[in-house]
Amino acid sequence: METVQIQIAKIADSADDQARATQRVSDAVRPISDGSSSLASLSKQMANGCVKLDDLSNDLAVAVEKFRFERDPALSNRGQDTNPDLSMSV
């Protein structure tokens, strides 16, 4: 069995970018999951340059990130004070 590691270069910044990326992943994977195509076919498209692994991996990362945010909205507060009520006065 061959293992493929994919480095994720970026996460989409806007909701529109997330939606488009999620749709592209769905479009690429749907034919495999519904049985009308195969992983070999996707590999062939990648070899022909129709589908680029970097693009697909970025799209997949965006879809995963979107899923995580939908499951736990607190994750969308990265880098922000998640509990601003806990302030002290001197």
> pLDDT tens, position by position, for the chain (90 residues)?
444 444 444 555 666 777 777 777 777 777 666 666 666 776 777 677 766 767 777 777 777 777 777 777 665 555 444 444 444 444
68's CB contacts (< 8 A; 6+ apart) are: 75
- The confidence score (pLDDT) of residue 51 equals 66
46, 19, 10, 66: CA torsion to nearest 10: -120
- The confidence score (pLDDT) of residue 22 equals 72
CA gap 10, 57 in Å, rounded: 10
